Structure 1
Amino acid sequence: MKTVAETLTAHRSIRQFKPDEIPQTIIDEVLHEAIMGTSSSGNLNSYSLIVTRDPERKRRLYELHSEQEFVLQAPLVITFCADWYRTRQWLELRGARDNFNNFLGYQVAANEAMLISQSVTLGFEARGYGICYMGTTLQAMQEIADYLNLPETCLPITTIVVGVPDEQPERRERLPMRAYIHDETYQEVSPSELEELYAAREESGWQRYMSMPHLRALCEEGGITSLAQMYTSPYKYDPDAYAATSQQVLEALRGRGFLPSTPGLSQTEE
């Protein structure tokens, strides 16, 4: 098994998988280690994991996740949920005051869902399996919640697919460390320093996109001439689409009891 350092440095997002099944003993080991070893606010562990292996159920998740083929290829899909329902049921059982059905509760639980997802990811990657995170979880948050029968104050935050890799992609570049690490307080950079920080990324990232004929054609048609323009173009992270998805996420939070159903009112005022 790889060390933590070896696992981190070997990480790649895998989007092609062999059909090999993952033994149940491995799944159990990884999930047990992750749950036992991941930090939690108040040790309340405000998350749940939905494990999907059934081919027909994976097909529906494939549809909800924008029909990404690797969802069908990978033998295992895990949906990580921000979940206060279990805790709130326990509070009620013991005659305690209700809580966590608010935005702060969502924020805490969402953070914990991401923490446990990374622990699970490291566990599988240390054993030689490949994973890929799916940002489409947020885009289809409400639909996935309905499909997985999630109760009140329980919402999907992220999803990973897991399996035996059938590709060896190049490691994605990162900005220089000084772009991320600030000493004592946040250090803003000058335009010239920003140019220097992004120089290598802009060259390699743009070359990668231009090596894909369909993206190259779209960029030429749309007048996209740089990596930055690509990132906020209709072909990547479209601001208009982001605004619409943001509204959908807010509606999902209201629908699952994390926000007041009437904007501007607190839950105690309704």
Structure 2
Amino acid sequence: MQTVPEALAGHRSIRKYRPDPIPQAVINEVLHEAITGTSSSGNLNSYSVVLTREPGRKRRLYELHGEQEFVLQAPLVVTFCADWHRTRTWLRRRGARDNFGNLLGYHVGAFDAVLLSQSVSLGFEARGYGICYMGTTLNAMHEIAQFLSLPESCVPVTSIVVGVPDEAPGKRDRLPLRAFVHDETYRVPDEAELDDLYREREVRGWERYMADPRLRAKAEEGGITSLAQFYTSPYKYDPDRHAADSARIAAFLAEHGFLPEGTR
């Protein structure tokens, strides 16, 4: 069992897995430790987790998550949900005023669920398993909610795959610590400082992308010449796609009781 610093130092996003199943006792232990040891707003525990292991159901999640191969390879997919359905039902049954079916409620539930997801991830990694977060959860919130039979006021916010790693990728670079940490008040970097913060990242990130023949071909096809351009291209975080997805998410949250109808 690794310590927390060891697990953090060893973290990698794993995208290739062996088929070895994860014992149920290990899953239960990790979830128990995470749920009892993670902070929760008001101790209301406004989250739920859905475990998916059955191959046919994993295949459907593979489709909903953009057909990422590791979803099929990993033995376990964990979907973390912002869940006020349980609490709101309890409040109603006790004659209390209804609450949390609003934007603030969504934020609290989503943040609680993400806090829990990191504790769960550390728990698995400390035991030698690999994980990978899937931001594609947000792109398919409506479809994932339907597939997992989530009730009103319960929405998926992030997912991870878990399994025995079948690769050993290098650790991804981060910006220098000074890019993130501010004493007392936020200090906006000037252009020279910003260039200095991103200089090494731009070189390493671009080299990593160009080492992949498929990504290199896309960059050449799109006339992309920098990491920043690639990040906002149709091949990565497309602004047009993000605008459409943002509208879909707003409509979905309204449908599930977190926003007024018609909110965009």
- Does the pair score TM above 0.5? yes
Q: Does 1:226 align with 2:253?
A: no
1:1-270 to structure 2, matched below 5 A, reads 1-263=1-263
Task: Give the C-alpha shift of residue 221 in structure 1.
Answer: 1.6
Deviation at 1:217? 1.3
Q: Secondary structure at the match of 1:224?
A: coil
Q: After superposition, what is the alpha-carbon deviation per residue over 1:86-136, rounded to whole angstroms, capped at 9, x for unaligned? A: 000100110101000000000000000100000000000000000000000
Q: Which residue identity lines up with residue 207 of structure 1 in the other structure? A: E
Q: CA deviation at 1:214?
A: 1.4
Give the drift of 1:215: 1.1
1:207-234 deviations in Å (ceiling 9; x for gaps): 0011111111111121100001110011
Shift of 1:54: 0.7
1:262 is displaced (CA, Å) by 3.6
Q: Secondary structure at the match of 1:101?
A: coil
- CA offsets per residue over residues 123-165 of structure 1, 9 Å max, x none? 0000000000000000000000011000011100000000000
Q: What is the distance in 1 between the residues matched to 2:5 and 2:92?
A: 43
- Percent of matched pairs sharing the same residue: 68
* CA RMSD across the alignment: 0.8
- Taking the aligned partners of 2:104 and 2:66, their CA distance within structure 1 comes to 30
Letter in 2 for 1:165: P
TM-score normalised to structure 2 length: 0.99
Q: Which runs of 5+ in 1 are unaligned?
A: 265-270
Residue by residue over 1:181-201, the C-alpha shift from the partner in whole angstroms, topping out at 9 and shown as x without a partner, is 001000111111111110110
CA apart distance, 1:48? 0.2
Q: Which letter maps to 1:6?
A: E
Q: Does structure 1 conserve the Cα–Cα contact (< 8 Å) formed by 2:52 and 2:76?
A: yes
**CA distance 1:140–1:232, change in 2 (3 Å):** same
Q: Distance in 2 between matches of 1:263 and 1:246?
A: 11
Matched residue SS, 1:78: strand
Residue pair 2:88, 2:98 contacting (<8 A) in 1 also:
yes
TM normalised by structure 1 equals: 0.97
Stretches of structure 2 that go unaligned for 5 or more consecutive residues are none
Separation (CA, whole Å) in 2 of partners of 1:216 and 1:23: 40
Alpha-carbon distance, 1:205 to partner: 0.2
Contact 2:19/2:75 (8 A) holds in 1: yes
